[in-house]
């Protein structure tokens, strides 16, 4: 089992550019989560999907953020246009049911300059 796979591991982009983060969950897991980690705010849940359907996107900070899950094996988080305050580590996690825990990817460190 390769675990949750995120790409890229690091991303540096200029303000105003579009950024797309990618995630492949563990096969068989039916829930997928996007988190953002910053020093100031800690780990924040941005959005999550159950069976590819967005359930709660109340954590998405602005309309500049969007997420999709076109199938059970792939999800994207897009920021358009990016701003310096979006700089953070973005984690993707998947789970079969919450009871058994959540498996996290290695994260994408995004730097917007």
Partner 1 sequence: AQTVTQSQPEMSVQEAETVTLSCTYDTSESDYYLFWYKQPPSRQMILVIRQEAYKQQNATENRFSVNFQKAAKSFSLKISDSQLGDAAMYFCASCRGSGGGADGLTFGKGTHLIIQP
Q: How many residues bind partner 1 (CB under 8 A)?
A: 29
CA 110-34-14 angle, 5° bins: 20
Query: At residue 47, what are phi and psi to the nearest 5 degrees?
Result: -160, 155
Q: Is 72 in the site for partner 1 (CB under 8 A)?
A: no
What's the chain's Rg over C-alpha atoms? 13
17: nearest Cα among 78, 70, 60: 78
Closer CB to partner 1, 45 or 81, in the complex = 45
Out of 1, 2, 28, 42, which residue is the one contacting partner 1 (CB under 8 A)? Answer: 42
Contacts with partner 1, residue ranges (CB under 8 A)? 30-31, 33, 35, 42-43, 45, 48, 50-51, 55-56, 59, 89, 91, 93, 95-104, 106-107, 109
């Amino acid at each position: 089992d390769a675990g949750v796979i995120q790409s890229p591991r690091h991303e540096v982009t200029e303000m105003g550019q579009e950024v797309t983060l990618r995630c492949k969950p563990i096969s068989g897991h039916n829930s997928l989560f996007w988190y953002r980690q910053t020093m100031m705010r800690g780990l924040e849940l941005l959005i999550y999907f159950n069976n590819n359907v967005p359930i709660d996107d109340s954590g998405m900070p602005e309309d500049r953020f969007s997420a999709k899950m076109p199938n059970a094996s792939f999800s994207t988080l897009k920021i358009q246009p990016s701003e310096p305050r979006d700089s953070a580590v973005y984690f993707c996690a998947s789970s079969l049911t919450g009871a058994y825990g959540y498996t996290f990817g290695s994260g994408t460190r995004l730097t917007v300059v």
